[in-house]
Amino acid sequence: MAKKQLPYKYEEGPASMVVSRRGFIKVTAILALFIAFGKAVISFFYGKRHDFLTSRQEGLYKDDKICQRKGLAASQQNPTVKAYYEEFGEHPLSEKSHHLLHTHGYYARWQLGKGEVHHG
Amino acid sequence: MDNSYMNKVMKFPLPNKIFHNINAITWYTLLVTGLIAYFKLASPQTMGLMMKIHIWTAVIFTLNFVAFVFITPHRFYMMLDRLFTWDMDTIAWFKNFGGYPRMLGIPFGPKEVAPQGKYNAGQKLSYPMFVLFVLVLIVTGWGLFFFKHALGKGLFTVMFYVHVWGSIFVSAMATFGHIPLALIHPDDVKAMFRFGPGTVPIEVAAHHNPKWVESEIVEIDHPEDIPGGHHH
């Protein structure tokens, strides 16, 4: 009796009448192809990112080896830095060094309109 | 007795109406907020607000699509099956582009339009693009939102430009193609947007979608139609 309320006389047949077995396989295959293609595109560019990261890592290790061979593996071994503190900057973290070496001008770019970020 | 139901056919069932209309409203909200943020058409504070609206509207946009696909997968499959089924009449539609140029006074092709199903050939070309882009915009949008620092420069750039320019292209198709063509079919517009059943007169459906009416429609048994059935 509930059907009496329906304000129409005709409707679409059930999905099984509209979508054949062949149609079901076709639609599933097309969806799978689109998803696979999308995944391939993302993997391609993501793979490139991985290449950039690993080649940069290799370069850093190579530079590190060169520094180690020359006895410059840490900043306190660097004669220029040593000379700076002995003749000019007093000692690491001194007031003078803080003002001279501390950088300003960092902006949090992910927060538009927030201005310069102060710290230290 | 009210016999007005006698000539009505359900063209847009409730799940389809809910999906279509939420999709349409959120699409244009996302378009406006996205354009303002991308082209910097407001102050930084207003752009920040626009992005907030953009993200929260995107949540509704995404859930709407996911709900349609996973709650009514049969409707999703019926739609895609119709869109991806091409026959000679679909091809023949292009002889006169469904007679639409004639409406504009351009006598292009034969007068007779090849009979179409629920979707005509033009819809079969454009709707898969709409469906695809709903998915592409969801994936690129949330990718950019959650993984912006992890994507790498290459993938970020690709996703960003596909998201921005892809959505502008599809919005242009919807605004200058889909909407004007829908508006010249008032029965469809009423069926889609009225707060009530998505029905159109059967004569209208038989004229525009003869193959749909012929092969995919069933008659419902109303108690009034059955001798000895329910009476008022």
> Does residue B65 form part of some domain?
yes
pLDDT of A36: 97
**CA distance to partner chain A, nearest, from residue B47 (Å):** 8
- The ipTM estimated for the assembled molecules is 0.85
> Does residue B117 form part of some domain?
no
- A9: nearest CB among B6, B75, B158: B6
- For residue range A18-28, what is the model confidence (pLDDT) as tens digits? 999 999 999 99
> Does residue B53 form part of some domain?
yes
Domain that holds residue B46: 4-80+125-218
Sequence-distant (6+) residues with CB within 8 A of B5 are A6, A7, A8, A9, B222
Q: What tokens appear for B17 in the block?
A: 């109406």
Please report, for the domain that includes residue B49, its CATH number. 1.20.950.20
Sequence-distant (6+) residues with CB within 8 A of B90 are B114, B116, B120, B121, B124
Q: How many other CB atoms are found less than 10 A from the CB of residue B87? A: 12
> Does residue B231 form part of some domain?
no
Sort B33 into a burial class: Cβ within 10 Å, 0-12 / 13-18 / 19+.
buried
pLDDT > 60? residue A3: no
Residue numbers in B near A6 (CB within 8 A): 5, 197, 220, 222
A29 touches chain B (CB under 8 A): no
Residue numbers in A near B75 (CB within 8 A): 15
Cβ proximity of A27 and B131 under 8 Å: no
Q: How many other CB atoms are found less than 10 A from the CB of residue A28? A: 12
C-alpha to C-alpha distance for A83 and A81, rounded to whole angstroms = 5
- For residue range B104-125, what is the model confidence (pLDDT) as tens digits? 888 888 989 999 999 999 999 9
Q: To 5 degrees, how large is the angle CA B6–CA B12–CA B15?
A: 125
Structural domain count, chain B? 1
CB B217 to CB A12 under 8 A? yes
C-alpha to C-alpha distance for B170 and B168, rounded to whole angstroms = 6
Residue numbers in A near B216 (CB within 8 A): 12-13, 17-18
> Does residue B111 form part of some domain?
no
> Does residue B130 form part of some domain?
yes
Cβ proximity of B124 and B83 under 8 Å: yes
A107 touches chain B (CB under 8 A): no
Cβ proximity of A96 and A89 under 8 Å: yes
C-alpha to C-alpha distance for B31 and B26, rounded to whole angstroms = 8
Residue ranges for chain B with pLDDT beneath 50: 229, 231-232
CB A11 to CB B7 under 8 A? no
A25 touches chain B (CB under 8 A): no
Cβ proximity of B64 and B26 under 8 Å: yes
pLDDT of A75: 83
| Predicted TM-score (pTM) of this structure | 0.80
> Does residue B184 form part of some domain?
yes
> Does residue B120 form part of some domain?
no
pLDDT > 60? residue A1: no
pLDDT > 80? residue A113: no
C-alpha to C-alpha distance for B146 and B140, rounded to whole angstroms = 10
